[in-house]
Structures are given as structure tokens and as C-alpha cells.
Chains A and B, each alone.
Chain A
Amino acid sequence: MTSTTRLSALEMDAIALRHPHLLRGSSNKRLRTILISVGLVAYLIFSWWFFSIGHVLGNANWGIAGTYLADWVSYEVRPEIKIARDKTMTLDYQRNSPLGHNPNPAWVELDKETVTRIVELPAATAQTAKPKTSSSSFSFMAPGAALGTASTATEQNRVETRTEEIITRAVITYDRSTKIEIAAGLVKATHRGETLTMAVDGQDTVTPQGALPAWATQKRPGEKITLAFGATGWADVEGDDVSIRNRFFGWANFLFDTNSPFFGKSYGDVLSLITSGERIDPARSNLSLAWNNILFNAEWQHLDVWTKLMQTVVMAFVGTLFASLVAFPLCFLAARNITPNFLTNQIVKRFFDFLRSVDMFIWALFFTRAFGPGPLAGMSAIFFTDTGTLGKLYSEALENIDDKQREGVKSVGATPLAVQRFGVLPQVLPVFASQALYFWESNTRSATIIGAVGAGGIGLKLWEAMRTNSDWENVAYMVLLILLVVFIFDSISNACRSRLIGQKTH
């Protein structure tokens, strides 16, 4: 058979010549394709200009994007080493450091001396210098060290006698190939086999000795030098100050915050404390104390996050359920084959359109005004919008039903209600339920976003966490929970739908 249809090139050309319209396609069609492509390109260029995309992307701070992304799954510890004019140093951790009070991590090695010295201060700075001294000694990090400052402030004389512990040498180890060593006015940074030595004068000038390696940048001579060590952290070296940013993978203090008695203990220790340890708080058992500490973790706010997530879920569930309950009777009025009254059909359909077109967002804003911020507002917004959407979909499903069943039920003399019950409902009920389930699932997503405008749920919490630009790990935690909930509902709703419709929906 194939041999009879095999053509030589000459024959093919002959056929092509005889039926050119078959092979070329209509010029109309080709013109349309070209027009659409040209229109699309013109539109994209227009939008590029309209949103000034090039300009915005050019001015964006892409460096910070990497830091924010890294914050999702890691945290920084930020010791700050202040260098005085006599090249002695003090060490300070950030407030709310994830290492807790008086941290003494193994990656910071310090050589200390206790000295008594007389410091002369100009009268103008004496007032400001005093609290500074006490604050730095307050957060000294040596365990068991004599932290008290026996300072006898004699501001009138502009002279202070201080006995304090100072640091003469500090070694900060980032990882195996990266460390910073500070001693005697010299900062020595080693990264991947390259070493940079910088001289700091204790005031405002940094001088690199030798050429800067690729990982160090200095904008102007004497100004601060930024050392970027990639994922493991970075450091800023200034004349009187070295800021260390050491980055660790993971979420810091996920279970217990730094104020908890369980902070810093290993899982085994915590477990043994809970099961057999002495009561830390005599009023209650260690288990309830631990659970309480987890729930009210100041950094992660587990209880609040879970409550807000629950609100989001509830908003979607109740909103969709009520919407389908209200849309159900109304859609019979809207379907023209069930209610053969043009006016009623149109009124109900336009009512659905109205509910849908006044957007969920507007409803959310209005109900937030009416009920106050919280899930009631979000729930009502979802209810109103989805009554419209589900009503429209339901009435379309009704208009597409098979009329034979109705005829059959009607022909045996059933009452109108019985005709609907036995002639119509069995056909559409699976579709109705499946659509309601679909919207339940998709509303769980929408509820997140209307929450951000005040309508309750996790949206606002997410938004607040993002506004500060420093809580990205909390954002990651909430996103993870939301994804989890959405996937669970996705599977529940898909399983229900495929059982209802009797086939796999995807």
C-alpha cells in the first residue's frame, strides 16, 4: 500500500502546483498571526515603558535580595568589637541575640586582661560616655568573670578610674577557611587561603596593607572595608569597630526562646527534665511549662500563628459552605429551564453578577468596617462573593442538564417539588458539591490575601512580619504552614471530588 502512495519529488511539486491553496494556507490566517505577534510585541514594549520596568529593575537593591532570601532559612549572630584608641577592645552582641544572654560561642576566642586605668574624658562627652561604659560591661560575655565595673565616676574632674576587663586579642572563626583575627590594632582576615591585614587606628581610619582581595571592598581610602565571605557571613571593618555577621543555617530558637529555662539545652536534656527532672516552676509540671514556653515563644509566636492559620481555614470553610447553601435554592430561580420566567431569571442572575463584581476585596473592606478586624469580616466577604460565583456556576450547570429525566418524572404525575428532587437533583448534585469543594480549596488561598487588608487570618500576620524586613524566617515558617494546609485541603477536596464525579479529576 505504501508503495502506491510513494511519490517522486517531481510528482509532489506537480500536486503542490495544482492545489496551491491547500498548502499555502489562507493569507487571511497568516496575516492574523502576524498581526497578533506584532500587537503582542508592541504591548510588551508599551508595558515596559508604562511600568518603567527597566528603570525599577536597574535601581533595585539586588544585594539585599540575597540576604533576605538567606534569612528565610538561616540566621545571623552579630558580635560587634569596639576598638579603643589604645587598641584594647570590648565585645558586644546584638540586642535579642539568638544566642541568649551572656553568650560564649566556641567560634569566638578571646584573650582578656583585667586592667585598672584612669581615663580622662572631655566634659562634654563624659555624660554620654558613662552609660556606654556600663552597658558594655553589662553584656560582657565571659562566664564567671567579674563583670562589675568599680567605676567611680568623677565627672566634674573629667577623670574616671575604671577597673574593667578588656580584650587584647580576638579570633573569630567563620568556617574552616575563613577567620578574622584582631590584635594590637591589626585586623587579619583569612578567606580561602588569601589573607588581608588591615590597620585600624581606633578612631576612623582603616588602612589595608597590600592589595585588596576580590572578597574585600573599600569605597574610599580610609573608609570602612566590607569583607564578604559568601554564605557563611560577612564583616565590616571600621576604624574603631569590627562588625561580625556570622550566618548559621537553620531557624534559631524554634522551640524555646532565650528567656525560657529550657533554652540552650539539648533535646535529651529537655526530655529528661520533662520526664524526671525537678520542677523548675513549683506551680506546674515541667511538661506544661515547656509546652507553655513553646506556645508563647516570643520570636516565633507559635500559638498566635496557629490561631491565625486556623482563622484562615475557618473563613474559607464557613464562607464557602454558606455560599453554597444560599446559592443552591437561588440557582433554581436563575436557570431558565427550571423557572421559565424571564424576569425572575434576569433578576437573580444580575444579583449574582452584582455579588461577584463587587469584588471580594471590597466586601472585605466593608465588613471589616462593620464587624471590626477579624475572621467574621473575611468569612462574610467570601460568603458574599462566592454566593455570586457559585450561583452563576450552579445555574449554568442546571441549564445544561438532560431533560429526559425530568420529563419522565413529570409524566408519572409528580408534584413540581418531586420533579426537582428526583428529576434534576441527582444529575447536578455531584457537580454542585464538586464545585463547592473546589472553591473551598481555592478560598483557603484567597483568604490569606484578604487577611492582609484586615479581614482576619494569617494574611495580616504575614504582612506585618514582612514589613519589618528582619523576620523573614517567620515568613518562611508561615508560608510553609500555609502550603501544608493548602496541599492537605487540595488532596481532601480532590479525593472527595473524584469520588463524587466518579472519575479522576486530574
Chain B
Amino acid sequence: MLELPRWKYVLVTLVLVIGLLFALPNLFGEDPALQVERKSRAPMDDFARQSIEDLLHKQNVVIKRDYIDSGRLIVAFNDVASQLKARDTVDATLSDVDRSALGNASRAPSWMRKIGLKAMPLGLDLRGGLYLLYQVDLQGAVGQLLESYEQSFRRALIEAKLPFTDVTTIGASGGGVANGLRVTLPAGADSGAVIEVLRKVDSTLKFTSSSEAGAAAVDMLLTPAQIKAREDYALEQNRTTLTNRVNELGVSEPIVQRQGLDRILVQLPGVQNSAEVKDLLGKVATLELRLVDTQDNALQAEQGGHAPLGTKLYKREDGSPILLKREVIVTGDELTSATSATSNEGPAVSIKLDARGADSMLRTTRLNVGKPMAVVYIEKSRRQVEVNGQKVDRDSTSEKVINVATIRGVFGPQFQVTGLTSGEARDLSLMLRSGSLAAPIEVVQERAIGPSLGQDNIDKGVRALEIGMLAVFVFMALYYHVFGLVADAVLLANVILLTALLSMLHAVLSLPGIAGIILTVGIAVDANVLIYERIREELRNGVSPQAAIRAGFDKAFSAIADSNVTALIAGLALWVIGTGAIRSFAIVLTLGIATSMFSSLLGSRALITLIYGGRRKVARLSIG
């Protein structure tokens, strides 16, 4: 007698059905598509969709289908030519309100998308694109912080009328990186009073009195926690900056993520021109707050070609001129954080300033309540220019006023910029945060993969998978007959379950990932072979067929568990240590071991029990 509890059948069926559902979207493939989103980040509606449809129809672009997905309009086409024509049309007509990006749209039916079923995204090696790995200079980030403190210290001491000789950076022991400041004082100075004043700059700092070559001095050393916080902030800010700029590039499904302790990875599918992209991403930008000059006429100044004394002529985002006072209230260096928020007056951006900025802000706003203040966005870029055949780095600067707001009260270290839509608030806070890269970045690895190579890779990977699986199927069926066919069904189920798990996790599929799936097929066979060989052995020893099946599964279990544990250890080690494609291989391998355990132990047993189970007597097993 051979039986299996009913709940195990239910479980196997349920898992298989869910697996099929999640794996299904991967079968449909993709169409070239155009993604269109509002620059204001307002969601697209049917009206906008209709107008874009009409626009494309007028240009004789055939739309295969279109839909709105998370606020963005996705328009799919039959071929790349239509896609490119559509992009040009949309960019030419709607570029001031909309942003478009080339991408792919899954051919899966819309109900799948609506319930959140999506195909695995393809890695760059399978679709072509640009891969950039940036190294963030964290020492530079700490250096910038110290520089800002140095200026604050000097200013505080001058204002408090306390004499000092110099403020210099001091390093950790033995040529390490600077992690503190030393204020040297003239003979007879009161270091206690100096510490009192400096503490007002930032109360979290630790000060100690010391003496150097007879002269008194006050030292400030950053604690490891402060350094760590600064490094984290720099890394996160740089990531935000890069994300923001990548979004401006009009690339669909870009990836910007932290990697390791001091790296940022940028993946841009479909992008080929690395020089242009690197130029854009590596831009150094900052911002300033200035008072608006309300007495003089900006238009006259623009026409006259020179700004009145004490003012500077700027342009707003819409191109109209505006006059700002020459004195800078706050510079980007004095900004410690910017986040989007909601206030009583609607969406807002919360800005935090360091002590120096806060002090200046307090004094300025106290005297100027009710007057307008402007936020100026300054962008410096470095590009290579050829001068007389020589490549020279040229810095260029562009400045524009991104926001003008009325000062409603006296601000300290924290204030809010209001009068924005929520989309604008988010953009502004992003832009403010991306205002200056908190630490210098440098490209340490770069890979450009041509689109045809990507297609070639995916074709080859899929063909290897198909042929490999087919060979295994035929071999198993020849060698184990009915049991072999059961193993084949189980292998197929295993590939489906693995694909489903990977799709659920939105794991990016790369070529090594496909290799992992192929290898998993080989490993999954192992469990079945262990069981079947055991059953054959029992049969040889004269055990009845049904008892042999039971004994085969029971006795093979510990060997299967054991042999999978070791492969699992290797897979996990790869997962933890590997990055990029190696990690994708490790994820597939690890999950593959899990699904193969499930499918061969439970699935295979359920199927065999279904065939040979029940109370009837089985004369012989078809096991080859």
C-alpha cells in the first residue's frame, strides 16, 4: 500500500499553480515602447493619453497599444523605427511639460500587469547598455565638513573678538586622514573662553585644550560616529544626486544603488554614449539663497545689459530676468539636509542649515520679513575641449533661479520653502540635496554593451537551456522509463518554480543567471537519481514494488538533504560576497536548490504515488 496525505497533493498543486502564474509573464517577450511622464510628476490621465495618441496618429506612427502604469504613459510599438519616430515627435512637441524615455513594454496581457505579475527584468548583458561604477571619495567628504567648521570657527572667534593665531586641520596618528581642527592661540589667551564660543557653533563637538611648542591651543576631534555619519550622509546624498540626474537622462528602468562601503553603481539600459552621460552625471552643482532686489527693474537691466550696483542679474527657469542682491545669505556648503514635507500651506521643502548658515539666515530674515528671497541653482561642469589638438579640461558654470518665496518669519537653522506643488517640492528637495555632490566621485569601472551583443547573449543562453534540458529529458526517459518521465515533469516544474521565485523577487536576469538555471537542472536531477537508484536497489533485494518506492524515498532523504547543504553553503557564500552578475548566479543557484528539494521530494513522490499508489497490487515498476 502506498499513500500520501491529501494535503500534500493540495500543497503541490497550489504551489505549482501559483508558480505557473508568476512565471507566465516571462513567456510573452517585449515590444519597443516609449514611456512618457509629466515633468511636474502629476500622474498621466486619459485626457493626456488621448492627446498623445492623436499627436502620434497625425505623424502616422502606428501604436500597438498603450496604457498608464504608475502615473506614466507607456506606448508600445511594433518596431524600433516607430518607437524612435514617436520619441522625436513627443520630444519636439511636449518637451516643456513631459519627459519621455525609450524602453520596453511586456507583451503580457494587461490583467497580469494589473495584479502585479511582471517578467524578470533583463540585465545589461542581455539587453545592452552602459554600466558605470563610481567610487565616492569619503575622505574628501570629511575634508569638506572640516573646511566648513574651520570657516565657522574663524567667524565665531572674530565675532566674539577673541584673538587666535590660526585654525588648521589635524590628522589621526601617523599621516592619517585629517579628522579634526586645531585653533592655535597667542600667549596668555584664555582657552576656556575660546571653547565656550566654539561650542556655540556646534554643541555636539568635543573640545580639548592642548599646547603646542609653548603656545596654547584648542583641539576639536571628530568622533568616529561623527565621521561615520558624515560618510553615510555623503554616500546617500551622492546616490540621490546620481538618481536625480539619471532620471533627467530619459532612460527607462535605470538602476542606481550603493555597492559596498564607498561605491555607487549606475546601470543605464540602452544607453551607448558614455562620454555624454558621464559628463552629465559627474556635474558639480550647488545652490545659494539671495534676497531679491525689489527696487530696480529687472527687464530694464536685461535690456541695458548691466545690473544696478549691488545686484546681479539672473534668469528664472521660464527665462524671465530677475535681479538679486549681491550678498549671499546661505551657500550650498551650509546646507546639511533638504527633505520634502507638507506644511499648513501645502507641500514644502524642509531645509536644515549648519551653524554658520543658520546664523546668517537668522540675521538676514530678522531684517527682511515680508521681502522675497530666491534660491539660485548653480551648476559647474567640466568637459574636455580640444584646443589646438590638445585635450583640455574646461569648467563652465550655469546659474538659474529655481524658486522665489516671501520670507514669512525669522528663520533659524531650519526653515521651509513653500508655494510649491508636491511634485515641485519633491524635485526641489532632490535638487537641493543634489545641489552639491557631498564628496567627489570618480568612475572606476565602465562597461558599454552593444544591443546586438545583448540579444546574442540571450539567444545563446536560452538555446543552451533548451538543448540541455531536452537532452536531459530524453536521457532520463530512456534510462528510467516511467520514472524518468516523472523526473522530467519534476524538472520542468522546478524550472517553472525557480522562474516564478525570481520574478517575485524582481531579480535581474543576467547571463550567469541563465547559467545558474541550467546548472540547477543538473543538480535537481541528482535528487531524483538518488531516489530511483535506491528504489532499484530495494527491488534487487527482492522488496515488493510499493515498499521499494517508500523505502527509496525515505532512505534517500538524508543523502539528498546532505548533498544539498554543501551546495547551499557555496551558493550562500557567493551571494554574500559576490556583486553584479556573480550575485545573480548565486541567487539562482541558492533558490534553485530550494525549489529542487521541494519538487523532487514532494512533487516527485506525489506523482509516483499517483501512478503506483493506492491499494491495488503493482506487479512491477517501470524504472528501466
Question: Are both chains from one complex?
Answer: no
A interface list, Cβ under 8 A from B: none
Seen from chain B, the residues whose Cβ lies within 8 Å of a Cβ on chain A are: none
